[in-house]
Amino acid sequence: MTEPIAKILVPFKSVPDPYAEATPGGSASTAKAVINPFDEIAIEEALRIRERGEATEIVGLTIGPAAVDEQVRAALAMGVDRAVRVDDARALDPYAVARILRAAVEKEAPQVVLMGKQAVDDDSNQAGQMLAGLLGWPQATFVSKIELLENGARACCTRETDGGLEVIEVNLPAIVTTDLRLNEPRYVSLPGLMKARKKPIEVLTCEQLGVQVEPLTTTLSIARPPKRAAGARVESVEELVRKLKEEAKVI
């Protein structure tokens, strides 16, 4: 067994439930908020690393208004040791998030920052890589397997890329972003949630973190894209082949 590597910081975002759209009449605007699925995977992985005795403390951190405290409690209920909310109600872009996270990393001094590869509301896939760039730390993105080596001096990470799987080693401290197949997050029990209600949430402002950021991207509007027209039913394989040949002319 390796020596514990001390501390893992897990930044997580509160997003509309990604499964809400799938239900008839559901939409992101009415969906209940949840922890971003990729960040839930990051929390789960941190817990597993601690359970293997390779980490001493997991700090969960989110940037958002008081309304996201419910997701902070969910993170505490999953098992993070301590939770911080940076109180900021503005619409932040990933670069603003990364600059705030840099200040938080400088304060907390973790050995690993484990975070989602993408927030499923803005689908940007940027904040982790930007944070790594700002800190000058190594990064391993889209990770589906993490192994700590040499008492936490390095991490061996398997990455899911367009071409297949790739393995890299990064010196710690480093940023690791999670992909879907890293793990399956545990189920949060009701008693766990009740207990988490009593745990304190540390609330900090950007000012207290000594960071001042203005988002550089502004969303002017969000609209539903034009809907693809529903097509026709075909009754048989023969009809399908005929339509593909004669009507659509694709085969």
Ligand X SMILES: Nc1ncnc2c1ncn2[C@@H]1O[C@H](COP(=O)(O)O)[C@@H](O)[C@H]1O
Ligand Y SMILES: Cc1cc2nc3c(=O)[nH]c(=O)nc-3n(C[C@H](O)[C@H](O)[C@H](O)COP(=O)(O)OP(=O)(O)OC[C@H]3O[C@@H](n4cnc5c(N)ncnc54)[C@H](O)[C@@H]3O)c2cc1C
Phi-psi region of 174 (alpha: psi -120 to 50; beta: other; left: phi over 0): beta
Cis ω before 16 (30° cut-off from 0): no
Q: Which of 65, 180, 189, 212 binds other proteins (CB under 8 A)?
A: 180
11 binds, among other proteins, ligand X, ligand Y, none (CB under 5 to 8 A by kind): ligand X
CA distance 121 to 127: 13
120: contact with ligand Y by CB under 6 A: yes
From 56-64, 68-76, 177-185, 203-211, span contacting other proteins (CB under 8 A): 177-185
CA distance 116 to 155: 17
Residue with tokens 């359970």: 51
Binding mask 102-131 for ligand X (x = CB under 6 A): -------------xx-xx--x-xxxxx---
Please, which of residues 37-96 interact with ligand X by CB under 6 A? 38-39, 62-64, 94
Q: Which of 124, 102, 123, 122 is nearest to 113 (CA)?
A: 102
3-class DSSP assignment, residue 239: helix
Binding mask 200-229 for other proteins (x = CB under 8 A): --------------x-xxxxxxxxxx--x-
Binding mask 103-142 for other proteins (x = CB under 8 A): --------------xx-xxxxxxxxxxxxxxx-xxxxxxx
Cα 187–Cα 45–Cα 205 angle in degrees, nearest 5:
90
CA distance 161 to 156: 16
CA distance 66 to 56: 28
Please, which of residues 31-70 interact with ligand Y by CB under 6 A? 37
Q: What residue ranges bind ligand Y (CB under 6 A)?
A: 18, 37, 120
Q: What residue ranges bind ligand X (CB under 6 A)?
A: 11-13, 36, 38-39, 62-64, 94, 97, 115-116, 118-119, 122, 124-128
